[in-house]
Amino acid sequence: MKKLLVICGPTATGKTSLAFALAKKLDGEVVSADSRQLYVGMDIGTGKEWGNVPIHGYDLTDPKKEFSIAQYLKFAKKTIDEIWRRGKLPILTGGTGFYIKGVIDGIPTVAIPRNDKLRLRLEEKSASELFESISQLDALRAGSMNSSDRKNPRRLIRAIEIAQWKLEHGDGGREQTLDKQPSVLVVGLTAPRDFLDKKIMIRVSERVRAGMRQEIKDLLKKGVAWDDQSMMSLGYRQYRDYFEGGVAEEVVVGEWKREEIRYAKRQMTWFKKDERVNWFDITDKGYPKEVEKLVKKWYISASNEKS
């Protein structure tokens, strides 16, 4: 049977490092499930890591271009199929829960096309006006949105786009899933709140020292605009006030840290809903061995099942 290992959890829990270690031991290849790492030239702020095993999913597109969930799922499906053909284990790892869910379960609305005319009409509306529109079109969808979704014009416009399409075409949409349903093991990494908050703050400081400001300056020189989808990413969007508003860098970095901490909370809320996740606390020194034990047991069991 085909096998797919998933390593998920909030930011700063060491998912990629664990994925590299397991890939080396199990002859695997890593596939990034991070919506920020797919942009060329956005390395420091997104925390790209490289190891001694192949990793796929970095540098998929120009930061001046938009990148959709449909594009990611097409990439992930093709890449995972190729890893299987090479007889290796794909290890999907990252903190973008929507990407991971899409790969494992498929997303019914992923094939619904963008409506450029509708987007043009909506782009000048405020987030509150967009939320009012989706509330009228699809009250159930509006009610399921968290506070972050309700303030995000891009997500609200996509929700309106989907709701409008359904009104015109019915509740369809082709799911994009893997050709063969694999045996999936989901490992989740977590940590006590205070520990993780401190880890996030330290990591942000390290990225600032590594040259985050210069990385953004280089992107702007290459024509990347503040309103581009890529620059909405955490860490990058906070620096707009520094470059355009004259706000001190320490203030910008402080806001970045606070937003990363809030993001980690939202990630945990998302992943905790999935009962398939086997959770491991990274403050437990023996957790890597426990993860390896679980993975090897699953790997052997899945290998003994017929494809």
Q: Are 93 and 21 in contact (CB under 8 A)?
A: no
Q: How far apart are CA 193 and CA 207, in angstroms?
A: 21
Q: Has residue 80 got a pLDDT over 60?
A: yes
Residue 21 lies in a domain: yes
Comparing 154 with 288, the larger pLDDT belongs to 288
Residue 126 and residue 47 share a domain: no
Closest Cα to residue 15, out of 280, 289, 248? 280
Chain-wide mean pLDDT for the chain? 92
Residue 159 and residue 86 share a domain: no
Residue 160 and residue 289 share a domain: no
Residue 90 and residue 162 share a domain: no
**49 to 19, 31, 82, 271: CA distances (angstroms):** 11, 12, 22, 22
**What percent of the chain stands above pLDDT 70?**
96
Residue 286 lies in a domain: yes
Residue 178 lies in a domain: no
Residue 104 and residue 121 share a domain: no
Q: Has residue 302 got a pLDDT over 90?
A: no
Residue 51 and residue 32 share a domain: yes
User: CA gyration radius for the chain?
Assistant: 20
Domain boundary among 142, 169, 196: 169
Residue 158 lies in a domain: yes
Q: What is the DSSP letter of 209?
A: H
Q: Has residue 43 got a pLDDT over 80?
A: yes
In the block, tokens 């290459």 appear at 222
Residue 138 and residue 38 share a domain: no
**What pLDDT is attached to residue 141?**
87
Domain boundary among 144, 169, 194: 169
**What pLDDT is attached to residue 249?**
97
Residue 174 lies in a domain: no
Query: What is the chain's length?
Result: 307
Residue 153 and residue 207 share a domain: no
Q: How far apart are CA 173 and CA 162, in angstroms?
A: 10
Q: pTM of the full predicted structure?
A: 0.84
Q: Has residue 134 got a pLDDT over 60?
A: yes
Residue 242 and residue 212 share a domain: yes
Q: Read off the tokens for 290.
A: 């426990």
Residue 176 lies in a domain: no
What CATH number is attached to the domain comprising 43? 3.40.50.300
Q: Has residue 114 got a pLDDT over 60?
A: yes
Q: What band does 180 get if pLDDT is binned at 50, 70 and 90?
A: low
- Residue range(s) defining the domain that contains residue 143: 116-169
Average confidence (pLDDT) over 33-45: 97
Q: Has residue 52 got a pLDDT over 70?
A: yes
Q: What band does 296 get if pLDDT is binned at 50, 70 and 90?
A: very high
Q: Has residue 26 got a pLDDT over 80?
A: yes
**What pLDDT is attached to residue 149?**
85
Q: What band does 167 get if pLDDT is binned at 50, 70 and 90?
A: confident
**35 to 28, 60, 209, 228: CA distances (angstroms):** 22, 10, 23, 14
Composition of the chain by helix, strand, coil, percent to 5: 55, 10, 35
**What pLDDT is attached to residue 268?**
96
Residue 161 and residue 44 share a domain: no
Residue 22 lies in a domain: yes
Residue 175 lies in a domain: no
Residue 123 and residue 73 share a domain: no
**What pLDDT is attached to residue 170?**
73
Residue 23 and residue 138 share a domain: no
The tally of domains found in the chain comes to 2
